[in-house]
């Protein structure tokens, strides 16, 4: 028997997205918004399933994505949130504007996890790994205590970890506040103009970097000044695979439900 597939996969394309596919998906969403992912590929002329389109949009094409490496402050925040929320990546991602759950999850698995292990911390519990050894095997006590001392000397982040584990127990009020802050953060409109201004080099890692570098500040401001915009109105060269993110600024609000 087995589960029915989410969509008819016969004839559907898989694997990495091409520029042409990105272009089609982005143009479709720009013009129509998102109402039902299942019909998006059909209407956009893509041989992909809706799920794949959704993922591509959320993780790569979304205009408010930050991209670029994580800062130390962001890493600390991830560790803090992970200590409170566990592997609930979408919840953690909701505390960052412009970061996806997939991005955070990857960063956790490839970088943070290793760092924590290197520091003698269990990434799952955020506690010292040798503390566990301590409890379960008293014969190793001497060696683990020495290791612990060594770790403390070499890790300035220890304080952060200790502090965050202390905040594990939240009162109802705290949780309510946390949820409220999260909502506010998600509801905030993304200021693409300031994003353009402040992100500078970070954008360079994006495939859209060449585009950013080609738009002058005055040009981007004039895009934002338009009241209503359509693709034809912008007079875009549709052979260009990239659409300026600035142009997203005046889209229907419903587009920014994410």
Q: Which residues bind DNA (CB under 7 A)?
A: 3-4, 6, 9, 14-17, 35-38, 48, 50-52, 54-56, 59-60, 69, 87-91, 101-103, 105-107, 109-111, 114
Sign of the alpha-carbon torsion through 156, 137, 132, 122:
positive
How many CA atoms are closer than 13 Å to the CA of 39, on its beta-carbon side?
A: 6
Please report how close the Cβ of residue 235 comes to DNA at its closest, in angstroms.
29
Residue for token pair 């439900």: 257
Please report how close the Cβ of residue 240 comes to DNA at its closest, in angstroms.
19
Please report how close the Cβ of residue 34 comes to DNA at its closest, in angstroms.
8
Contacting residues for 27 by C-beta, under 8 A, at least 6 apart: 44, 231, 238, 243
Nearer to DNA, 121 or 144 (CB): 121
Please report how close the Cβ of residue 143 comes to DNA at its closest, in angstroms.
25
Please report how close the Cβ of residue 6 comes to DNA at its closest, in angstroms.
5
Q: How far apart are CA 257 and CA 240, in angstroms?
A: 27
How many CA atoms are closer than 13 Å to the CA of 207, on its beta-carbon side?
A: 13
Nearer to DNA, 216 or 257 (CB): 257
Nearer to DNA, 39 or 238 (CB): 39
Residue for token pair 């359509």: 230
Supply the DSSP string of 114-149, one letter for each residue: HHHHHTTB-TTT-SBHHHHHHHH-GGGHHHHHHHHH
Nearer to DNA, 96 or 223 (CB): 96
Q: How far apart are CA 134 and CA 137, in angstroms?
A: 6
Nearer to DNA, 104 or 121 (CB): 104
Q: Is 69 helix (H, G, I), strand (E, B) or coil?
A: coil
Rounded to a whole number, what is the distance in angstroms from the first to the last CA of the chain? 35
Nearer to DNA, 51 or 140 (CB): 51
Please report how close the Cβ of residue 154 comes to DNA at its closest, in angstroms.
19
Q: What 8-state DSSP symbol labels residue 169?
A: S
């Amino acid at each position: 028997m087995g589960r029915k597939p989410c969509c008819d996969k016969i004839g559907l394309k898989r694997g990495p997205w091409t520029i042409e596919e990105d272009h089609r998906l982005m143009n479709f969403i720009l013009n129509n918004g998102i109402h039902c992912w299942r019909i998006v590929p059909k209407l956009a002329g893509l041989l992909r399933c809706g799920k794949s389109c959704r993922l591509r949009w959320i993780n790569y094409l979304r205009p408010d994505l930050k991209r670029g490496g994580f800062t130390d402050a962001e890493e600390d925040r991830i560790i803090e949130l992970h200590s409170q929320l566990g592997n609930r990546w979408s919840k953690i991602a909701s505390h960052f504007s412009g970061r996806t759950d997939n991005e955070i999850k990857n960063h956790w698995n490839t970088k943070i996890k290793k760092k924590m292990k290197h520091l003698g911390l269990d990434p799952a519990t955020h506690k010292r790994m040798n503390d566990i050894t301590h409890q379960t095997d008293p014969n190793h006590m001497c060696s683990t205590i020495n290791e612990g001392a060594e770790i403390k000397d070499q890790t300035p982040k220890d304080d952060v970890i200790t502090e965050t584990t202390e905040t594990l127990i939240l009162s109802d009020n705290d949780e309510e506040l946390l949820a409220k802050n999260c909502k506010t953060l998600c509801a905030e409109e993304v200021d693409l103009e300031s994003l353009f201004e402040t992100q500078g080099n970070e954008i360079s890692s994006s495939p859209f970097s060449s585009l950013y570098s080609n738009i002058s500040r005055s040009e981007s401001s004039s895009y934002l000044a338009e009241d209503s915009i359509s693709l034809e109105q912008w007079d875009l060269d549709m052979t260009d695979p990239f659409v300026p993110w600035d142009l997203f600024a005046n889209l229907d609000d419903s587009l920014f439900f994410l």
